Amino acid sequence: MKITSCVVLASFCFGAGAYAADELIVLKAARMFDGKSNAVVQNGVIVVKDDKIEDAGSNLQIPGGARVIDLGDATLCPGFMDAHTHLTEDFSGNYNEHRLQELDLNVSEHAIRATEFARVTIEAGFTTVRDLGSRFVASHEFVDVALRNSINKRVIVGPRMLVATKGIGATGGHFDPTNGFRDFLFGREPDYTDGIANGPDEIRKAVRFEVKNGADVIKAAVSGGVLSLTDEVDTPQLTPAEMAALVDESHRLRKKVAVHCHGDQVAREAIDAGVDSIEHGSFMKPDTLTMMKKKGIFLTPTLTASEWIMGKIDNYPPALQAKAKAATAARSEMFRNAVKMGVRISFGTDAAVFPHGQNAKEFKLMVDLGMSQVDALKSATANDAELLGIAQKVGTLEKGKLADVIAVLGDPTADITATERVSFVMKEGRIVRQGPSGVEKAEKSASPNVSALAD
Ligand SMILES: [Zn+2]
């Protein structure tokens, strides 16, 4: 009983972000994947000083006086990244209940729930997320910006966030928050302050408005989507001229552009316009993938989202069921082709469509559709760091990078589902989690001894 209490207390202190200032921490495990190599090395050692990696390699000598944390039969990896989340939202339950809840709940209550979503995401080993859209009907609150800032100020525990604020889309398109509601129920048509813009000039205005309010990245819905009531899933929703304005204005302001896009025709137009990543990409044909590859544009496949929707298809209205079935049927072949053709793939899940914290399930789906284990791991580390424009700071385990380090039990290059069994999380040199997560503790009546996990 006493031991258990100590472990719980220690975990609580770590959770609160005990900092390792002036102390060398050495992380040891049976293996290490550094984010660059094509294999794991044995006897991984990482030396951490303050918020940075001092050294990382196999069988490194342990400096005297260092605090050594032996993580046992585990693999040290760079903190995982998810390039497509919605940490301020949760669409995972019954669609109509969610729709009603969106009208019922105060936006502050949504924000409080989001702090829990942030915590379970980092506890699952995801130390960075790109959060691609946060909107509440008839509200102008920037909950994603508040969440990001509160994490940066260490008011709450969560992953590093790059946020997109509202996202940009056309009237009646996938992002129109009043889609499917009675006309003028909310008293006005949404405008650029809600991310809804029509015509190149308004698109520029919407980009400027979002950057003014804290956007790190610009997201736009250029085609229809699955979970929206009044559009077809693959139809174009922005014109080539609007996309040209979107990309030009965003890049002038040094922001990358991620586009929600299922349809093939509009994907080609978005690629021509020079977007940085295509999200979903369900119906893209091989010729379109060739165009992407030539331009080095990333594909963020979000396989977990469609898998979740198909597994709970009765939760959705009939019109959405038909769209989900069509998109899911097309996306597996599209993804297999993208892997075969060597299109750059960024790891992204669309967390919120399924429960937060289950992000790592994407790895197995990628591997099942033909990606190698190592390439899947690279997609969530080095590739995402490059797409997010933060590769100089994170994404690999090497000297001088920020100490975002996780451990997964077993060897993910032998069994990719090891990524779902995270035993340790460090972000910027601070231990977020050692041993069971809060969710796992709640599931078990007694917390296991941390040292038992390290055996
Ligand atoms: Zn999304």
pLDDT in tens for each of the 455 residues of the chain?
333 333 333 343 344 445 445 789 999 999 999 999 999 999 999 999 999 999 999 999 999 999 999 999 999 999 999 999 999 999 999 999 988 988 999 999 999 999 999 999 999 999 999 999 999 888 999 999 999 999 999 999 999 999 999 999 999 999 999 999 999 999 999 999 999 999 999 999 999 999 999 999 999 999 999 988 889 999 999 999 999 999 999 999 999 999 999 999 999 999 999 999 999 999 999 999 999 999 999 999 999 999 999 999 999 999 999 999 999 999 999 999 999 999 999 999 999 999 999 999 999 999 999 999 999 999 999 999 999 999 999 999 999 999 999 999 999 999 999 999 999 999 999 999 998 777 777 776 554 444 333 33
CB-based contacts of 150, cutoff 8 Å, min separation 6: 115, 156, 158
From ligand 1's centre to the CA of 260, what distance in Å? 7
From ligand 1's centre to the CA of 48, what distance in Å? 35
From ligand 1's centre to the CA of 84, what distance in Å? 6
From ligand 1's centre to the CA of 240, what distance in Å? 22
pTM for this one? Answer: 0.92
Q: What angle do CA 32, 33, 35 make, to 5 degrees?
A: 150
From ligand 1's centre to the CA of 130, what distance in Å? 10
From ligand 1's centre to the CA of 190, what distance in Å? 20
CA distance 178 to 222: 17
Cα dist. 71→39, 83, 360, 433, 452 in Å? 19, 27, 20, 12, 10
* Size of the chain, expressed as the number of residues it contains: 455
From ligand 1's centre to the CA of 309, what distance in Å? 13
Could you tell me the two tokens for 208?
């400027």
The closest alpha carbon to 76, from 34, 47, 110, 36, belongs to 34
CA distance 342 to 455: 39
